[in-house]
Structure 1
Amino acid sequence: MRFVHLLLGALILAAAFRIWNDFRPLPPSNVVWRTDYFSAVAEARRTHKPLLVEFYATWCSACRSLDRGALRDSRVEDTLERFIAVRVDTDYAPASLGLQYNVSGIPALHVVSPDENVLASSIGVISANELLNLLERAQQ
Structure 2
Amino acid sequence: MSNASSLTAAPTNASRKRFFHFWRCFWLAFLVISLGYAWYCFYVPANSVAWADDFDTAQQQAVAEGKPMVLFFTSQWCVPCRIMKRNVWADDQVSAVVNESLVPVAIDIYDPRSAATIERYRVAATPVTVVTDSQGNPLQWKQGGLSKADFLDLLVAPEPSTDS
Q: What is the TM-score of this pair, normalised by structure 2? A: 0.77
Give how far 1:25 is off: 5.7
CA contact (8 A) 1:41 1:51 kept: yes
Q: Which residue in 1 is equivalent to 2:37?
A: 18
Compute the displacement of 1:139 (Å): 6.0
Report which of the two structures shows the higher radius of gyration computed on alpha carbons.
Answer: 2
Distance change in 2, residues 1:113/1:49 (3 Å): same
Contact 2:68 2:103 in 1 (8 A): yes
Which moved further from structure 2: 73-82 or 107-116? Answer: 73-82
Paired residue type of 1:114? S
Which ranges of structure 2 fall in alignment gaps of 5 or more residues?
1-18
Consecutive aligned runs of 4 or more in structure 1 exceeding 4 Å deviation: none
Of the two structures, which has the highest relative contact order with CA contacts closer than 8 Å and spacing of 6 or more? 1
Match of 2:81 in 1: 63
Percentage of identical aligned residues: 24
1:80-108 alpha-carbon deviations (Å, 9 max, x no partner): 12000001111114323112112121011
Matched, 1:97 2:117: yes
Question: 2: CA distance between counterparts of 1:131 and 1:24?
Answer: 20
- The alpha carbon displacement at 1:46 in A equals 0.8
Give TM-score, length-normalised by structure 1: 0.89
Partner of 2:91: 73
Which range is displaced more, 4-13 or 46-55? 4-13
Counterpart of 1:19 in structure 2: which amino acid? A
Aligned with residue 86 of structure 1, among 92, 105, 123: 105
Map of 2:16 onto structure 1: none
DSSP 3-state at the match of 1:69: helix
What's the Cα RMSD here?
1.8
1:100-139 matches, cutoff 5 A: 100-137=120-157
> What is the identity, as a one-letter code, of the residue corresponding to 2:35?
A
